[in-house]
Amino acid sequence: MNFNIISINNWARKPYFEHYTKSVPCTFSITAEIDITLLLAELKRQGLKLYPAFIYMITTVVNRHEQFRTCYNAEGELGFWDWMSPGFTIFHEENKTFSSIWAPFDAEFPVFYKGCLAQMEAFKHEKTLFPDPSEPPNTFPVSCIPWINFTAFNLNVASEGAYLLPIFTIGKYAARGDRICLPLSVQLHHAVCDGYHAGLLFQELQALADGCPDWLEIR
């Protein structure tokens, strides 16, 4: 993994970055529904789980766009990762707590899916918040609230504007007539992302859901 330092003075986004980190520190959240009717049918046909498949979809889109991989490194330098892996939550039914774990991303869905399930299995009994000390710095957070079909969700991150990566929250899917839709909320920092980028995110997630037969097959 490589972290690419951004030269702010030569960066086209410099005025936006400075405005939304200094003058008007600003994050924003957008919640929209993804039509997963075909995706669910394909997952059911193959006996696969929705959560790791949707994490794969999110990570695929994140890795397409530099804006979603822009952040500060451990030295406080601004830059972007060549690619990122997902950090995601798993729920412990026994004591109603959760843990945040991660899985290495692979563009080949079968490889990622099997690795994701292996991580879930490895840490399913580890009831601490961050049980895996090997998580690398090039991860971003995904969580799931499968009990609520929400129409909006907002996080309040008290980081003084220093946290720039997207934060994803998946909700409970529900029927909309003959369609099945899944709410997804993403919190973005306006210093690195605008509404245009949020629009791309949801459009490309919908395209992946609609085109799932092309990438989902596990042989």
pLDDT in tens, 70-107: 999 999 999 999 999 999 999 999 999 999 999 999 99
pLDDT mean over 123-132: 95
- Quick one: the chain helix, strand, coil %, rounded to 5? 35, 25, 40
Integer Cα distance of 195 and 30 in angstroms: 9
Return the number of other C-beta atoms located less than 10 Å from residue 61's C-beta.
18
Domain 16-34+49-71+85-174+194-214 coded CATH 3.30.559.10: yes
**Token couple for 217:** 């097959």
Instruction: Tell me, rounded to whole angstroms, the distance of Cα 54 from its chain centroid.
Output: 9
Query: The dihedral of CA 135, 106, 64, 175: what is its sign?
Result: negative
- pLDDT at residue 160, rounded to an integer: 67
Identify the H or E element spanning 205: helix 195-210
Q: Catalytic residue among 65, 92, 189, 190, which? A: 190
- pLDDT at residue 147, rounded to an integer: 97
Name, in order, each residue with C-beta under 8 angstroms of 84's C-beta and a sequence gap of 6 or more: 59, 62, 63, 68, 69, 105, 138, 139, 140
Name, in order, each residue with C-beta under 8 angstroms of 196's C-beta and a sequence gap of 6 or more: none
- pLDDT at residue 218, rounded to an integer: 67
92 a catalytic residue: no
The domain ranges of the chain are 16-34+49-71+85-174+194-214
199-213 pLDDT per residue, tens: 999 999 999 999 999
Return the number of other C-beta atoms located less than 10 Å from residue 12's C-beta.
7
Integer Cα distance of 128 and 95 in angstroms: 11
140-167 pLDDT per residue, tens: 999 999 999 999 999 888 766 789 999 9
Integer Cα distance of 205 and 199 in angstroms: 10
| 102 contacts 1 by C-beta, under 8 angstroms | no
| Helices marked H in 77-154 | 109-122
14-43 pLDDT per residue, tens: 999 999 999 999 999 999 999 999 999 999
